Structure 1
């Protein structure tokens, strides 16, 4: 169900179980983590410079496959910590730019996979939210953090209490994700952007991601972040990609970065 292809510096990971809206069972989460780890090894080897995660069919990912749940002895903590979190962490720690193209439903753990990626592009008619009220459960996979951080407490609790879903277009307008495209052009638009990013300066992207992550997780103040930013920029000056970028600008030609 988890497929990997690598071409032109892009590792494309596909959730391919459209008959169940790409809902993931225990084995699928393990396979997803291992597949992303395999793609990450390609970054170290020089064959991968960006990651694209997508789903086949009408949905990106409807979350955990609930058909396998035994309600009388379900160990939710073990599943979350042993299956979902490792897959999310593999995506979040990916050592190159990571993108998701999400159409249809992105719910529960599917939403968590969006949270884990660097950049999320959604179909305008995608469905995002917290249907857990209908299941007698609590929103998981990082959903509380995402909604509270970007929507505020009132809108977050509205979505949690009502189980209403919002469209991809509304999610982008609300600041949840980066861009929304018509469903029919989502994958093409995303692939075009990822292809462009894959030709960029990977070392600079890696430094930028580290700083953005520190600002988010460590709540850096402006001057503290600026100080780190200055030191990172000073170190970049000694790299081959810096010299190529400046030289290409001076010579009025596209840069050719080496990663």
Structure 2
């Protein structure tokens, strides 16, 4: 976790730090001066004041050294839809973005769902994926990598991946109807309650695709558990803000 600015905490990837051409970071809830209930929120869609969101986004992107008008955003709909970004824009119905264009950055909104970020250094392709339980069940990570293979002839063995902060299996309780939809190796029953491991599911998708285990970094952070650091919709409901994860090439 980067904390060069004592007021602002940003989650970094040790894996991605190997690549000087890559800019990457995930915001957190923590920021001195950010006020409850939304704290350091980067979404305009949660009831927070627009002026707060504008100020927070400016602070976040400035800290990363990114111009906000070079960032693509999306309205995440728990689909498996992905888009090739050739220039910064807003995508109305999308849960994954990818690009091989320099100085074009991809934003993923986060508040419990699993963010998956990919980098293929030989072809200079960056990818950001939003994978909630529906996206995970429908294998959005697999679907997106298959698109990279088809459109850019990507070899999954060359992909580096960061599975970011999200809700852990310890806290992601679901109903039996949802539990029954998932494979046995990514779910468990504890004290008569049903739990799903979304991070493990996405990790297994990457492995099955051919991504090397040593090229996958999985964040240990649970957004639900780490209240001081992360927004969590499941924990805070209508008072939950959103983090943003962003990736791109300079």
| TM-score of Structure 1 vs Structure 2, range by shorter chain | under 0.3
Q: Which has the higher contact order (CA 8 A, sep 6+)?
A: 2
Which one has a larger percent helix, Structure 1 or Structure 2?
A: 1
Which one has a larger percent strand, Structure 1 or Structure 2?
A: 2
* TM-score, length-scaled by structure 2: 0.28
